[in-house]
């Protein structure tokens, strides 16, 4: 195995322009760039300025031109419906070009925004690629978000069109998307020109005057060609949780993104043209954008699009079936999926039914991976299990253990070493480097490599404040951790109000905003507490208004319903505890960290700054009354 990591890493930092120019050779360009890395307007940097390309051409058409039209491109496997559909590159090109033609008929063109609110069906990927083909900017909204969250994104992105399916399929229930979409449009100030609805037979939607049928639009459209766009033009906006209820619109450009993702498939994941890659995530998350749709297709791999869950649809052997049936070489998912499988089949009995001889590597990311889960997966699968770390903002891995560049020893608990382009530092509150082994805020020296966010949609000032202000000259990741003496990175926690629930990123601040809207709630706090499967789940603390006469159990239940209604089921908000008071410092700051440690059964000390230590006894008494999350044993 080649051992290029050290050399590549050094070169990428010493001469980023040369390093990424070489990687850019993997992409078809329409027009050449003037500048490889332009830092004149932003310290983050803009890549390949002046160049033109089309991302859809690179992900689809060029593979057909190269004679690989009959090679599988998109393998749709739905455990929810028991169906499989394979589109080869020629078939995918045909579907994408025709759907792009349909979008163009509605007047969609370069720079227009299109929101996609869809479950894991091939049409979701086709829609993304069709937007890219026209130079339109897609914004995919995860199906587990409620109407109000969708409305916030509609108002921010101001889409010309919204594309949706009539329904999604969750175990035991059909999620009707269309009423959620209608409610979101009613809540939003911005109104799209039209909606195109994919009717699924499990629950066709009733159509209104604004709605158009997907199949009839696609079948009557003329195929549209790829439109060359600037490398720096936005390809998509993907909203992610920040500290408040207003999500951040992460912008991804076309050129740098295509270069970095194409490069990462071989360098990091060790897959190449014709290999089968599977990211078990959802198109609504960054993993879905980067490694269900764009990365594998840019490289000419076949990508698996899986609709279902790792357990219960029908059983905990589903992942093994998909790997075996479709010849998956490398897979990527969140540790939570493996914790769920392990809980159902800890002996790995279901594995024995499947031949996984062609399976090479399992990649995990999206949340901290506990060493036990990593170890268990390794023992079961008998392949390297690689934890790697990245964010919606970065688009691809900041730290990993790169299969294509030459893997190093795996250290469970660590997310590997920094990848080329990422100059990772660990800083104290004053911005000074901490020593190896000491925990600090993780920051990356600017400029950032291609593929990383250039800005936030409609919010350049928020971009600066959120990421660039705290440590001048660095990108602040919002994560904290340490580095060992061999350069391995350990990502331990967030430095902000973001929590990670089943690999999904949520804002406790956003949940608090919803709870505060309950008429009986005077103040509230939300913290993420440990969960044996989901990693973390949110727990709410509610203080009721002095004049509230409502039974506490009723207010708690209403608070749970309110979060589900306003944010969506993805928040997994199941418990709200009514307490008399919240523990605070003398300056009024709520001691969320102390409450989290108490809920997790971890040792804690009473903070010296607390205004009334007796409140902690009240919190402890309240915590003793709730259900423990899965797998957590609390002392006493």
Q: How far is the CB of 250 from ligand AMP (least distance, A)?
A: 8
Residue 40 CB: number of other CB atoms within 10 A? 8
Task: Report the distance separating Cα 584 and Cα 607, nearest Å.
Answer: 9
3-state secondary structure at position 554: helix
Round to whole Å and give the CA distance between 190 and 236.
Answer: 19
- By CB under 6 A, what part of segment 412-441 binds ligand AMP? 415
Q: Which of 61, 95, 112, 367 binds ligand AMP (CB under 6 A)?
A: 367
Structure tokens at 131: 């937007």
Only segment of 79-87, 172-180, 195-203, 384-392 that touches ligand AMP (CB under 6 A):
384-392
Residue keyed to tokens 């093994």: 320
Subset of residues 270 to 289 that bind ligand COA, contact rule: CB under 6 A: 280-282, 285, 287
User: Distance (Å, rounded) from C-alpha 104 to C-alpha 339?
Assistant: 44
Q: Assess 387 for contact with ligand AMP (CB under 6 A).
A: yes
Site membership for ligand COA, residue 308 (CB under 6 A): no
> 535: closest CA among 335, 360, 315, 352?
335
User: Residue 179 and residue 63: Cα distance in Å, rounded?
Assistant: 39
Residue nearer to ligand COA on the CB measure, 227 or 280 = 280
Which CB sits closer to ligand AMP, 241 or 594? Answer: 241
CA 335 to chain centre: 14
334 binds, among ligand AMP, ligand COA, none (CB under 5 to 8 A by kind): ligand COA
Residue 299 Cβ, how far from ligand COA at the closest point, in Å? Answer: 19
Sites for ligand AMP among residues 443-502 (CB under 6 A): 478-479, 491, 494, 500
Residues 6+ apart with CB under 8 A from 62: 28
Token pair, residue 98, equals 């025709």
The answer to whether the beta carbons of residues 398 and 424 sit under 8 Å apart is yes
Among positions 91, 101, 122, 310, the unique one binding ligand COA when judged by CB under 6 A: 310
Q: What are the beta bridge partners of residue 386?
A: 363
Pairing relationship of beta strands 72-78 and 302-307 according to DSSP bridges: parallel
Show the DSSP H helices in 567-606 as ranges. Answer: 592-599
Instruction: Tell me which residue of 326, 251, 255 sits closest to 74, measured CA to CA.
Output: 326
Residue 527 structure tokens: 């913290």
Nearer to ligand AMP, 54 or 240 (CB): 240
* Residue 78, binding choice from ligand AMP, ligand COA, none, Cβ under 5 to 8 Å by partner class: none
Distance in Å, CB of 459 to ligand COA, minimum? 24
End-to-end CA distance of the chain: 51
Residue in 106, 236, 389, 475 binding ligand AMP, rule: CB under 6 A? 389
559 binds ligand AMP (CB under 6 A): no
Q: How far is CA 331 from CA 30, 301, 501, in A?
A: 32, 13, 21
Cα–Cα distance for residue pair 545/543, rounded to 1 Å: 7
Of these partners, ligand COA, ligand AMP, none, which one is at the site of residue 340 (CB under 5 to 8 Å by kind)?
ligand COA
Least distance to ligand COA from the beta carbon of 632, Å?
A: 16
Token output for 97:
């070009």
Q: State which of positions 533-592 bind ligand COA (CB under 6 A).
A: 533, 569-570, 572
Return the number of the residue (203 or 494) whose C-beta is nearest ligand AMP: 494
CA 209 to CA 473: how far, in whole Å? 52
Binding segment toward ligand COA, per CB under 6 A, in 168-176, 410-418, 521-529, 576-584: 168-176
Q: Which of residues 84-143 bind ligand COA (CB under 6 A)?
A: 119, 143
CA 149 to chain centre: 16
Site string (203-242) toward ligand AMP, x via CB under 6 A: -------------------------------------x--
Tell me how far, at minimum, the Cβ of 339 lies from ligand COA, in Å: 7
Applying CB under 6 A, among 42, 84, 86, 170 the residue interacting with ligand COA is: 170
Q: Which of 175, 188, 226, 510 binds ligand COA (CB under 6 A)?
A: 175
Count of residues near ligand AMP by CB under 6 A? 19
Q: Which two tokens stand for residue 569?
A: 């089921």
For 202, residues 6+ apart whose C-beta sits below 8 A from its C-beta are: 81, 167, 169, 174
Q: Which positions from 278 through 337 interact with ligand AMP, judged by CB under 6 A?
A: 286
Q: Which does 93 bind (CB under 5 to 8 A by kind): ligand AMP, ligand COA, none?
A: none
Between CA 506 and CA 531 the distance in angstroms is 15
Ramachandran region, residue 494 (left: φ > 0; alpha: ψ -120 to 50; beta: rest): beta
Report in angstroms how near the CB of residue 100 gets to ligand AMP at its nearest. 28
The site partner of 119 among ligand AMP, ligand COA, none (C-beta below 5 to 8 Å per kind) is ligand COA
Report d(CA 253, CA 398) in Å as an integer. Answer: 18
Site of interaction with ligand AMP (CB under 6 A): 240, 286, 365-369, 387-389, 391-392, 415, 478-479, 491, 494, 500, 505
Instruction: Enumerate binding residues for ligand COA (CB under 6 A).
Output: 119, 143-144, 168, 170, 175, 280-282, 285, 287, 309-311, 333-334, 336-337, 340, 366, 502-504, 533, 569-570, 572
């Amino acid at each position: 195995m080649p051992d290029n990591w050290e050399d590549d890493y050094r070169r990428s930092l010493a001469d980023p322009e040369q390093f990424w120019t070489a990687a850019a050779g993997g992409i078809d360009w329409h027009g050449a760039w003037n500048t490889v890395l332009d830092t004149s307007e932003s310290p983050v940097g803009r890549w390949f300025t002046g160049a033109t390309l089309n991302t859809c051409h690179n992900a689809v058409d060029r593979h057909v031109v190269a004679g690989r039209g009959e090679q599988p491109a998109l393998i749709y496997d739905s455990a929810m419906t028991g169906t499989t559909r394979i589109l080869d590159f020629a078939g995918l090109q045909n579907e994408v070009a025709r759907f792009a033609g349909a979008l163009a008929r509605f007047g969609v063109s370069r720079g227009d925004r299109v929101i996609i609110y869809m479950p894991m069906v091939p049409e979701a990927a086709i829609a993304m690629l069709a937007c890219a083909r026209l130079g339109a900017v897609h914004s995919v909204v995860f199906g587990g978000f409620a109407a109000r969250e969708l409305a916030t994104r509609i108002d921010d992105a101001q889409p010309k069109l919204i594309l949706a399916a009539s329904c999604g399929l969750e175990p035991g229930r059909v999620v009707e998307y269309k009423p959620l979409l209608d409610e979101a449009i009613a809540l939003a100030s911005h109104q799209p020109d039209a909606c195109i609805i994919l009717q699924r037979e499990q629950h066709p939607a009733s159509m209104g005057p604004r709605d158009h049928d997907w199949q009839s639009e696609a079948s009557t459209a003329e195929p549209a060609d790829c439109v060359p766009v600037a490398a720096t033009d936005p390809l998509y906006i993907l909203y992610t949780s920040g500290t408040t209820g207003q999500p951040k619109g992460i912008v991804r450009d076309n050129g740098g993104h295509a270069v970095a993702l194409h490069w990462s498939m071989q360098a990091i994941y060790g897959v190449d043209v014709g290999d089968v890659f599977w990211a078990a995530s959802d198109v609504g998350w960054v993993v879905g954008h980067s490694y269900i749709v764009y990365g594998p297709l840019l490289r000419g791999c076949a990508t698996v699009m899986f609709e279902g869950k790792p357990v219960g649809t029908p059983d905990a052997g589903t992942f093994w079936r998909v790997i075996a049936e479709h010849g998956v070489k490398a897979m990527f998912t969140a540790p939570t999926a493996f914790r769920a499988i392990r809980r159902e089949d800890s002996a790995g009995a279901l594995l024995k039914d499947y031949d996984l001889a062609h399976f090479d590597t399992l990649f995990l990311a999206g949340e901290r991976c506990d060493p036990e889960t990593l170890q268990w997966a390794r023992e079961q699968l008998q392949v390297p299990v690689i934890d790697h770390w990245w964010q919606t903002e970065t688009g691809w891995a900041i730290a990993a253990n790169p299969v294509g560049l030459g893997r190093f020893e795996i250290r469970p608990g660590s997310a590997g070493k920094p990848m080329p382009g990422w100059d990772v530092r660990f800083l104290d509150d004053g911005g000074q480097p901490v020593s190896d082994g000491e925990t600090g805020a993780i920051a990356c020296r600017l400029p950032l490599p291609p593929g990383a966010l250039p800005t936030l949609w409609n919010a350049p000032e928020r971009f600066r404040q959120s990421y660039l202000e705290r440590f001048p000259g660095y990108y602040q990741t919002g994560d904290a951790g340490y580095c060992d003496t061999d350069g391995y990175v350990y990502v331990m926690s967030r430095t902000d109000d973001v929590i990670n629930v089943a690999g999904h990123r949520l804002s406790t601040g956003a949940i608090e905003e919803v709870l505060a809207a309950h008429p009986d709630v005077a103040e509230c706090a939300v913290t993420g507490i440990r969960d044996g499967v989901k990693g973390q789940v949110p727990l709410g603390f509610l203080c009721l208004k002095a004049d509230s006469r409502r039974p506490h159990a009723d207010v708690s239940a209403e608070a749970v319903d309110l979060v589900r209604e306003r944010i969506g089921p993805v928040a997994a908000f199941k418990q709200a505890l009514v307490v008399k008071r919240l523990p605070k410092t003398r300056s009024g700051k709520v001691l969320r960290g102390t409450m989290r440690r108490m809920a997790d059964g971890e040792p804690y000390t009473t903070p010296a700054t607390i205004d009334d230590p007796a409140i902690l006894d009240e919190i402890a008494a309240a915590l003793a009354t709730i259900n423990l999350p899965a797998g957590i044993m609390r002392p006493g």
